[in-house]
């Protein structure tokens, strides 16, 4: 069963592959549909276009957790800490640091 929102976003991206909002939206819809590997691809495409403030790294880390790649999840949270600090989001950075501690247990 296809998701009409995913199809809509794919059409948008086909028209404008450099649309960061479309890429983020598609990644989010894929994540919600539990299509984690496809979401990971779109997140990396999004990151080529935009210096994210941190939130996308949470989604990326969760994709990796759900696909069983804890090391990549840790790497994603670490990059999220850097991005959040760079953009002045200390509470987000703290959230990611806590997630890293949890993954280390």
What's the pTM value of the predicted model, to 2 decimals? 0.94
> Domain check: are 34 and 74 in the same one?
no
> Domain check: are 62 and 44 in the same one?
no
Q: How many domains does the chain have?
A: 2
Q: Which domain holds residue 105?
A: 53-105
Please identify, among 16, 32, 50, the residue that sits at the C-terminal boundary of a domain.
Answer: 50
CA distance 28 to 75: 19
Closest Cα to residue 27, out of 14, 45, 51?
A: 45
> Domain check: are 59 and 46 in the same one?
no
Residue 2: the pLDDT is 76
3-state secondary structure of 33: coil
> Domain check: are 35 and 75 in the same one?
no
> Domain check: are 40 and 2 in the same one?
yes
**What would the pLDDT profile of 41-63 be if each residue is shown by its tens digit?**
999 999 999 999 999 999 999 99
CA distance 39 to 5: 14
**What would the pLDDT profile of 60-73 be if each residue is shown by its tens digit?**
999 999 999 999 99
């Amino acid at each position: 069963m296809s998701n009409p929102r995913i199809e809509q976003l794919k059409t948008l991206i086909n028209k404008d592959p450099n649309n960061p909002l479309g890429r983020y939206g598609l990644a989010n819809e894929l994540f919600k549909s539990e299509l984690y590997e496809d979401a990971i691809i779109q997140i990396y495409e999004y990151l080529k276009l935009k210096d994210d403030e941190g939130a996308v790294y949470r989604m990326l880390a969760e994709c990796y957790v759900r696909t069983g790649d804890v090391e990549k999840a840790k790497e994603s949270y670490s990059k999220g800490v850097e991005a959040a600090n760079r953009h002045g989001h200390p509470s987000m950075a703290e959230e990611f640091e806590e997630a890293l501690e949890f993954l280390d247990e």
